Amino acid sequence: MTRLYPAEGPLRGSIRVPGDKSICHRGVMFGGLAGAFSTIRGFSGGADNLSTIGVLRSLGAVVEQDGKTVRVRGGALSSSPTPLDCGNSGTTMRLMAGLLAGLGLESTLVGDASLHARPMERVAGPLRERGLRVDTTHGRPPILVRAGGSFVTGEVHLRVASAQVKSCLLLAALGRQAPLTVYEPHPSRDHTENMLRAMGVAIESSPHYAHPGASEGPAWVRMEAHSTPLNPVTIDVPGDISSAAFWLCAGALVPGSRVELPACGVSPTRAGVLEALATAGVCVTRRNEVSSGGEPIADLCVEPGASTGMTVPAEMVPRLVDEVPVLAVLAARLPGASIFHGVGELRVKECDRLAATLRLLAACGARAEVQGDDLHVHGQPGVPFRAFEFDPEHDHRMAAAATIAAQVADGVSTVKHVECLAVSYPDFLADLEALRS
Peptide bond into 185 cis (omega under 30): no
Contact between 207 and 178 (Cβ < 8 Å): no
Among 48, 55, 47, CA closest to 29: 55
Residue at 106: amino acid letter: E
**Other C-beta atoms within 10 Å of 37: how many?**
15
The catalytic site residues sit at: 322
- What lies within 8 Å, CB to CB, of 192 at 6+ separation is 26, 163, 166, 167, 170, 171
**Other C-beta atoms within 10 Å of 150: how many?**
10
Residue 118: phi, psi to the nearest 5? -100, 150
